[in-house]
Amino acid sequence: MTRSFKPAAGMLAQLDLLQVSHAGAVTHVRLYRPAKRNALNDPMIRQLHSCFVNLPPATRAVVLSGEGEHFCAGLDLSELVERDAGEGVLHSRMWHAAFDQIQFGAVPVVAVLHGAVVGGGLELASSCHIRVTEESTYYGLPEGQRGIFLGGGGSVRITRLMGVARVTDLMMTGRVYDAEEGRQAGLSQYVVPDGDGLAKGIELAERIATNAPMSNYAVMHALPRIADQSMTEGLLTESLMAAVAESNPEAKQRLRAFLDKRAGKVVKR
């Protein structure tokens, strides 16, 4: 880790199922329910929502990780037993609100995954913008075996990442993907050795935080909407978003810096 992270203050310090710390422009949110493998109960979903609404003001990028042996065991199954249909809809919508706040919030989110990333844990990861996985990572959608269905946005987000056929396979057959299979299927962008995930996630978040905020905003908010639109609507949205981004004073400064040979070139690795 390149910087020392300090615990967040105020309401973020009150969240008992998350550990929130920050260093400069990067905020680190860690799922903190290791005894239950970070299974997502109602308080944890509410805390995620509050956390992403109330990020420290200096935040320009977030890293999301999980404490303990696994990133996240998905929905807390002990909560399901007593719920009726109406309560089920509201419960699912609560997850949607929290994960929408992550995907369509103020700043990009880099998920650092390890161990089990299953069910709702994969739904949570898929609401982030970049996924870094340690080699220990494995993915499953055991909803089929549990007699339930996706409810945290996975039928929308995971299918967009890996396709309907692969999601069908994971859900119907109980197939489990390892870290590399997940990367090849589109679930993650990076695979790193065990123990290196957080440093890689922070490195990427620090890099992302140096972009113009309006460019990051356009990538987060316009790209997925354009992918959902028809070609003609998408092209118009692109033009509008491009014009907004280009007219920002920061864009003008950055373009001038390149033309004056004060900015870095794109170089081969």
Residues that bind ligand 1HE (CB under 6 A): 36-37, 39, 69-70, 73-78, 95, 116, 118-120, 142-143, 146, 148, 150-152
CB atoms within 10 A of CB 191: 21
* Nearest approach, Cβ of residue 152 and ligand 1HE (Å): 4
Q: Is 149 helix (H, G, I), strand (E, B) or coil?
A: coil
Q: State which residue, 6 or 146, has the beta carbon closest to ligand 1HE.
A: 146
Q: State which residue, 108 or 120, has the beta carbon closest to ligand 1HE.
A: 120
Helix extents (H) in the chain: 42-53, 85-103, 120-126, 143-146, 154-162, 164-173, 179-185, 197-209, 213-217, 223-228, 231-247, 249-259
Q: State which residue, 102 or 150, has the beta carbon closest to ligand 1HE.
A: 150
CB atoms within 10 A of CB 121: 29
Tell me which residue of 131, 119, 154 sits closest to 65, measured CA to CA: 131
* Nearest approach, Cβ of residue 153 and ligand 1HE (Å): 8
* Nearest approach, Cβ of residue 230 and ligand 1HE (Å): 30
* Nearest approach, Cβ of residue 132 and ligand 1HE (Å): 20
Tokens of 120: 């709702």
Tokens of 229: 């639109």
* Nearest approach, Cβ of residue 14 and ligand 1HE (Å): 24
Which residue's Cβ has the minimum distance to ligand 1HE? 119
Give the span between the Cα atoms of 220 and 93, in whole angstroms. 21
Tokens of 92: 């699912």
Q: State which residue, 170 or 222, has the beta carbon closest to ligand 1HE.
A: 170
Give the span between the Cα atoms of 252 and 245, in whole angstroms. 10
Residues with active-site annotation = 123, 143
* Nearest approach, Cβ of residue 122 and ligand 1HE (Å): 8
Helix extents (H) in 5-56: 42-53
Q: State which residue, 158 or 245, has the beta carbon closest to ligand 1HE.
A: 158
Tell me which residue of 74, 69, 76, 154 sits closest to 114, measured CA to CA: 69
Tell me which residue of 75, 81, 70 sits closest to 35, measured CA to CA: 70
Tokens of 53: 């609404």
Q: State which residue, 88 or 213, has the beta carbon closest to ligand 1HE.
A: 88
